[in-house]
Structures are given as structure tokens and as C-alpha cells.
Structure 1
Amino acid sequence: MSTAAGSSDDDATKPQPLTIAQLAELARVSTATVSKVVNGRAEVGPETRALVEGLIREHGYRPQRRRTAFAPLVELVFHALEGEYPTEIAKGVEQVTRRHRLAMVLSQLHHRDTPGRGWIEGVLSRRPMGVISVFSGLTAGQREQLATRGIPLVLLDPRGDPTAGVPSVGASNWNGGLLATRHLLGLGHRRIAAIAGPAFALPSRARLDGFRTALDMAGIPLDPELIGRGDFLAEGGLAEAERLLRLPGPPTAIFTCNDGQATGVYRAAHLLGLRIPHDVSVVGFDDLPAARWMNPPLTTIRQPLTEMAATATEMLLKLARGELLAQHRVELGTELVIRESTTRASES
């Protein structure tokens, strides 16, 4: 006997996710208690909560009214709400949510790697159509809690492995580092420094790898002394730039792995009585709106943050509608934007 297209004999015997009533019977608690756990309510003891969550992980959970279970909003969580980066991201999400008449909820992790328990309970109680996590990640348990409730997750500008089973949107970071360094090489610079971001951040490592590749292709040995390690903040850029510019053989150009650190380089040059670009050329990464208003305007790599955010939101809404994604990982292009912070290397 043949089976219908798209089905198999295994489908008929595959265990089905449980309802709240069935979970309550297995846990030997009330349906109200299970409902509180499912919906992220706080008034449940930790042992009971762990028992119910374990049953949900083991058996799955089937909402009784799936199509009407979610609120018309998108949850947007940031690693930190500082500078122009979150604003550009929020613009892209808002472009899509406005078109679909959805609301947007913002939260931040205050530089933590992953959200705390209070955050996930809040998300489950709000029941959004989906979650976009920006430059941050969720624990395996938190991802599973979202999955069992049918709440899709998309990573935006992920700091870790973008192929780790969660849909994600990023930029061509390696190519951006390559473009920035080739630009400086084309201007005759040979002693070029780089100020990377945090070592844990995959985008930072990719940009630094592009920098290294450009030097290698030009036949220029990498000088470890010219590699600085920042934190994606202006303060880190300032500290590393002061160290680099005080070297006996200082760099004639500096590539920073984001615009914030480039701001720190500008401050260091000012404190040391150096002129940009005459004494040191500077290239950033991001092309945030402030880059064009810096003095001099910053040459930088444009990372299309608003477009990335809009793409991530469209992916999220497709998942919320039960549609399949054409691509699990989307990577948008970066490009060099030349302004006045770079010039030809001095002949002396």
C-alpha cells in the first residue's frame, strides 16, 4: 500500500505534542499551574517549573488555539542599548512591523551574553509572534522554551556561529576587512595597525581575518605589535590607539573594527597632537550616521544595518506564518565609503 505524498508510516506512529491538560496529568499538578509555566507567569515554584519544562522538552506542547495564541508584536533584544547601532537596527525592524501593523518590544541585556530567567518569562507571558536577538544569543534552554511554544527566533549580527541551527542575518565582515585594508595599501601605507573588537565576537574575528588576508596578499608580514584588542567602544579604541601611536615605529594608518573605536582613535590623535589623515589615516567599520559628521568625515566600511534588520524581521514573520525560509543564513554585502580620514602615505 502506498502512502500519500509528503507523509510516511512514521508520521502515524510519531508521538503528538501534549496539551496543557495532558501535561498537568503527567506532572500531577493543576492545569492552571501548567498554564502559568507555559505562559511565563512568575507564581510557580522552581521545582514545579523545572518538572513541567522537562515534560514539555520531552513530549512537546500543543497550544489548543495556535492561530490566535500570539500577540501582534515582535520582540527585539539587544546586547546593549548604546550608540547609534541599536537605532539603525530598530529602524529596519520598524519598517517591517509598521507595514504589517505590528508592535515592537525592545529589551537589553546590559552587556550580558544571554538573557536571564526574568527575560524569558516576560517573553512567554507577552506571547510575541517572534524574537529577534541582536549581537547576543539565547541559552539552549531558552531556545527550546521558545520552540515548544511555537515562537520563532532569528539572530541578527550574531556574535557566535551563524550556522548553529538558528536562522540568522549578518554582513560580509571578512570582505569588509579586506576592502578597508586594500584601500590603505592602495594609498601606499605599509605599516598598518588594526584595532579588533572582543575576541568572542565572530564579526570582529572575521574583519580581522580580512585585514590579515589583505596584508598577506600584498606580501606584507603581519606585525603582532600592530594588532590591538578593543571592546567595540570608544574607550577601548582610545586606549589601544594611544599605545599604537606611542610605539617607536607607529603605524601610518589604523583600521578599526567598528566606528565607535574609530572615535577613540580620533581622540587619541588629538591628545598626542597628531592630525588625521596627515599623520595617521583611519578607516572604521559600520558607516553609522555620525561617521559623516566626524572631523574629518570618516572613511569606513558600510554595514547595511537597517537592511539587515528588515531582512531578519521578514524572515521571522515567514516563520511565524509557518512558511519555509529560502535561506537559513542571509549575508548582506559590505562596501567601502571613502571620505576624508584617509590619504596617501607620506614619502618621508
Structure 2
Amino acid sequence: MTHKRATLAQVAAQAGVSMATVSKVLNGRDDVAAATRIRVQAVIDEVGYEAPGRRREAPAGPRLIDFVCEELDSDYALEVLRGVVEAASEIDVDIVVSQARTDRVDSGAWARRLADAGRTGMVLITSRMTVAELAEFRRLGMPVVVVDPFSPIDEGFVSVGSTNWAGGRAATDHLADLGHRRIAYIGGPEIAECHVARLHGYLASLRAHGIEPRADYVIPGTFHTESGVAGMAALMDLEEPPTAIFAASDSIAVGVFEEAARRGLRIPEDLSVIGFDGTALGLRTIPPLTTVAQPLRDIGHAALRLVLEQSRDGLLDSHHMELATTLVPRASTDVPARG
């Protein structure tokens, strides 16, 4: 009996192999034993499995990729979009930009509409879509790449981001190497994977420098300016405020600058501040912001490439790609003031 919508997991289970092995057989890889290849191919033929990218006929004309983000005015999202557009302009791909909606009642209808419109795939930057919602796109054979996902996603989905743990470690190492011992961290939502990774990098650096972490120096929030204002206010009201702050995004760092100005504190003379992202925001602060730069345009390039690879070949061997971050020292960090 042929099943029209057999899944890769079903093929793997029936053949007694991993999903990665099934993917290799589908992609014609030569690193699979002949007997295993024959067994897997037999199951594929029996259940009628087709790789996701091959289930829909390719539309006539240029390929269309949807770029969906939560905030259209976000410096972070705009940099990733620039990377997607740069890559698309070289390979006859058109980009459709839209904003993730919070009032979407039927995500399945949305997925079907995009699939019926002949979209090749989607690059997604949002915390508002669940794994169940993403699964509807997979069921329809529409490739999706999630940029820096907020929550863990299973191996059936593809994501791309940066080395958040290493970036958090580098940011804190920079402050500790300058001589700071009272280093605070203002982060994003506690459920966000990137926040958790940056926080763990921060904690690892403190311990490596012999600095005891303090619970009152760790303040989660959002990746927005308002969170930097509120976090900075809470830290400065402590009996022993920090001499340096690692802000988990450049937007948070801008909020720290704003609250510091209200309190008459000078940066970096009274307080060193380092951000994370490497967006243009860091060049507009006074003084310019030291930051850990993510290769956001390269992330956009990679996201588009991964969408297109899925549309051609089905499931990929690797489901998550991390690009290296870079410390960018500027004038917002210095040695701590004496006393």
C-alpha cells in the first residue's frame, strides 16, 4: 500500500536506520553501505516517500523566498535581510518581506496559502511560531530556515545562528581582562536559546577569572532598549553596583546608555558597557559601543542557501549552522575607575 505523505522518520524506522542515512540515500551519497542503500531504497519505494523539496512542482519564473520577521524596524533583522537580498540578487531569486502576525488564528491556512502561491521556501526570524506551526510547512514540503531560534527545534527543521556561548565568553573576558571584577549581565527572555548561551558564556568567563557569580548581577528581560533602561536602573540601585555591564544585545546597551545619562554617569569613566550583535546602533552611541559582532549578513547568505538546498535535495545532513562572532573593541569599555 502506498502512503502519499510518508515521512522521513517513518522510512528510517521501517528500514532500521537513522534519518541521516535515509537523507544520504536520497541525495545519492556514496558513504552508505550497498546493502543498507538497497534496504532503504526499497522502503522509500514501498511507502512512496518523496523528499520535501520535490513534492511541489517548481513555479514558472523567478523563485520566491519569503522573509518573515517579528519587527520590520529591527537593526538585527535588517542586517540579516541585507544578507538575504545580496545573495538572492546573484542567483535569480526574489524576496518577499512580511511581518509575523500575532493575530493569525490558523497557521495551517497561512502555510497552505504560501505553498499554493508557489513560494520556494521561507527564512524566519520570530519567537512567535511554535514547532507545531512549523511542522505544517514541513508537511506541505515547503523548506523553512529559522534564524537564531528562541526555543529548541527538532532535527526536522533547519536553523542558522552565531556562536552565542563563545560570544558571551569573549564579551566577559574583555571586561575581566581590563580589570573589572563587578561585571553584570542584562539579558533577553529566559526562554530564548541565545540568551541562555550568552549567559552561560558570561558565567564561564567569570569562573575562569576567579570571579564569583552574583545572582543580583544577572537580569533577564527582552532584547529591547526598555530592558536596558530597567536593568541598568536596578543594577545602579544595588548597594554595590557593577563597574561593567555586558548587554546581551546592542539595543539593550542603548538603554543602558540612556539610564547612565539620566544618572549623570560617564561611559566608560564610571561604567564600562559592551553589547552584542554588531549592528549600526553601536556606531550611533556616544562613545561608540564595544560589541560582539554577529556576522548577520553572512547569516542571511547562509539562510538563503539552506532554503535552496532543501528545495533541491530534501533534508540536509546538518540541521544547525553556527557562524563565528567577533569582539569589536571601541570606546565604551576601559579599565575600572580607582575606588
TM-score, reference length from structure 1: 0.79
Q: 1:71-90 counterparts in 2 under 5 A?
A: 72-90=63-81
Say if 2:291 and 2:328, in contact at 8 Å, map to a contact too. yes
Rate the CA distance shift 1:315–1:186 in 2: closer, same or farther, 3 A.
Answer: same
In the alignment, what sits opposite 2:284? 293
Matches of 1:221 and 1:138, distance apart in 2: 37
**Contact 1:299/1:342 (8 A) holds in 2:** yes
Q: Residues 144, 315 of structure 1: CA spacing in aligned structure 2 closer, same or farther, 3 A cutoff?
A: same
Query: Which residue number corresponds to residue 237 of structure 1?
Result: 228
| Residues 1:228 and 1:16: Cα distance change in structure 2 (over 3 Å) | same
Deviates more, 1:288-297 or 1:160-169: 160-169
Deviation (angstroms), 1:148: 3.3
The residue correspondences of 1:164-203 to structure 2 (distance < 5 A) are: 164-203=155-194
Matched, 1:269 2:260: yes
Note if contact 2:120-2:311 (Cα within 8 Å) is conserved in structure 1: yes
Task: Give, in whole Å, the separation in 2 of the partners of 1:114 and 1:173.
Answer: 33
The answer to whether the 8 A contact 1:137-1:158 is kept is no
- Range 193-202 or range 122-131, more displaced: 122-131
Specify whether residues 62 and 119 from structure 1 end up closer, same or farther in structure 2 by C-alpha distance, changes over 3 A only.
closer
CA contact (8 A) 1:97 1:104 kept: yes
Answering whether residue 189 of structure 2 is matched by residue 157 of structure 1, we say no
Contact 1:278 1:343 in 2 (8 A): yes
1:150 positional shift: 2.2
User: Could you say which residue in structure 1 is the equivalent of 2:46?
Assistant: 14
Cα separation, partners in 2 of 1:86 and 1:227, compared to 1, 3 Å = same
Q: CA deviation at 1:163?
A: 5.0
Once structures 1 and 2 are overlaid, which stretch shifts more, 232-241 or 67-76? 67-76
Contact 2:53 2:312 in 1 (8 A): no
Q: CA deviation at 1:258?
A: 0.3
Counterpart Cα distance in 2 of 1:113 and 1:300 = 36
Bigger Rg over Cα: 1
Give the drift of 1:303.
Answer: 0.6
**1:74/1:241 Cα in 2 relative to 1: closer, same or farther (>3 Å)?**
same
1:131-150 matched pairs, under 5 angstroms: 131-136=122-127, 138-150=129-141
In 2: Cα distance, 1:12 partner to 1:238 partner = 56
Gap change, CA 1:61 and 1:130, over 3 Å in 2: closer
Q: Following TM superposition, by how much is the alpha carbon of 1:97 offset from its aligned partner in structure 2, in angstroms? A: 1.4
Q: Which residue of 1 aligns with 2:24?
A: none
1:11, CA displacement in angstroms? Answer: 3.2
CA pair 144-243 structure 1, distance change in 2 beyond 3 A: closer
Cα gap change, 1:64 to 1:347, in 2 (>3 Å)? closer
Equivalence for 1:257: 248
Q: TM-score, normalised by structure 2?
A: 0.81
- Counting only pairs closer than 5 Å after superposition, residues 94-105 of structure 1 correspond to structure 2 as 94-105=85-96
State the secondary structure of the residue aligned to 2:240.
coil
Cα distance in 2 between the residues matched to 1:62 and 1:338: 43
Q: In structure 1, what residue type is equivalent to 2:46?
A: K
Alignment partner of 1:281 is 2:272 = yes
Instruction: Pick the aligned partner of 1:130 from 115, 118, 121.
Output: 121
Identity within the alignment, %: 33
Name the residue aligned to 2:308. Answer: 317
Q: 1:329 deviation in Å?
A: 1.6
Aligned residue pairs: how many? 306
| More deviation, 313-322/116-125 | 116-125
Cα deviations across residues 54-105 of structure 1 (Å, max 9, x unaligned)?
xxxxxx9998872447972001111322321111011011112111212111
Distance 2:35 2:204 in 1: 54
Q: Distance in 1 between matches of 2:222 and 2:62?
A: 37
Unaligned runs of 5+ residues in structure 2 are 1-33
Relative distance call for 1:152 and 1:319 in structure 2 (3 A) is: same
Aligned position for 1:224: 215
CA distance in 2, matches of 1:135, 1:171: 16
Q: Please say if residues 62 and 92 of structure 2, whose CA atoms lie closer than 8 Å, have aligned partners that are also in contact.
A: no
1:230 positional shift: 1.9
Tell me the SS of whatever aligns to 2:123.
strand
Is the Cα–Cα contact under 8 Å of residues 297 and 340 in structure 1 kept in the other structure? yes
Deviation at 1:112, TM superposition (A): 8.4
Residue type at the aligned position of 1:96: A
Q: 2:323 matched to 1:332? A: yes
SS across alignment from 2:86: helix
Judge conservation of contact 1:194–1:257 (CA < 8 Å) in 2: yes
Note if 1:302 corresponds to 2:293.
yes
Residue 143 of structure 1: SS of its match in structure 2?
A: helix
State the SS of the aligned residue for 1:321: helix
Distance 1:162 1:344 in 2: 41
